[in-house]
Amino acid sequence: MSETTTSRTARNLPNGKESTVADKNGTDKGKDDAAPKGKRGGKLKLIIGAVALLALLGGVYQFVLAPKGAKAAAPPKPTPGAVVKLDSITVNLAGGHFLKLGLSLQASAAAGEDVSGAKALDAAIEEFSGKSVSELSTRPGRDKAKALLVKTVSGLYEGKVYDVYFTDFVMQ
């Protein structure tokens, strides 16, 4: 009977760890004790790829495939009622300039025709006083000031007035 002998030799690796090498049965052929670095990096790449794919799919669903009715709908505009024309007022602007401002209020049908313009005129004076001519002479400047005035007036009239129209807008 012949006996197979296996001799193992220890060798030092460049990372400072020891590895054993087997002769004839092939069990320890140059493998070191730690897990291979390639596998650990591969798992990390796989996880990052999966997360990126999920984020991409979520974005595609949100912006392309999501039902259009799922987004919050704006509340419907009230039923229009009377348009109440107010007397023109003069407002002091910055730099010694003036603004002649005429307003009309769009009331809802629930408000009826008894809408006093005092609150709206006071809000307009507050909004436009001290503004510069250059700020109000551009369309975007007027639109921004009007949007703020509409929001303020709507709050003051508790939703009974929902829009404001300029009937006079003259600066000097």
Q: Where are the domains of the chain?
A: 10-69, 80-171
Q: With 70 as the cut, is the pLDDT of residue 33 above it?
A: no
**Regarding the domain delimited by 80-171, which CATH topology (the fold level of the hierarchy) does it fall under?**
Tetrahydropterin Synthase; Chain A (3.30.479)
85-120 pLDDT tens trace: 999 999 999 999 999 999 999 888 887 777 888 999
- As a whole number of angstroms, the distance between CA 42 and CA 123 comes to 65
Q: What are phi and psi of 127, to 5 degrees?
A: -70, -45
Residue 77 has pLDDT above 90, yes or no: no
Query: For residues 31 and 36, what is the distance between their CA atoms, to the nearest angstrom?
Result: 9
Mean pLDDT value across the chain: 79
Give the per-residue pLDDT at 17.
58
pLDDT value of position 62: 78
Strand ranges of the sheet holding 9-12, from the earlier edge strand across to the other edge: 9-12, 18-21, 29-32
The answer, yes or no, to whether residue 126 has pLDDT greater than 70, is yes
H helix and E strand count, the chain: 4, 7
User: Of the ranges 2-6, 132-136, 146-150, 159-163, which one carries the lowest mean pLDDT score?
Assistant: 2-6
Question: For the chain, first and last CA: distance in Å?
Answer: 120
What pLDDT does 112 receive?
74
d(CA 126, CA 35): 74
Task: Look at residue 127 and tell me whether its pLDDT is greater than 60.
Answer: yes
pTM attached to this predicted model: 0.55
How far is Cα 136 from Cα 17, in angstroms, rounded to an integer?
A: 78
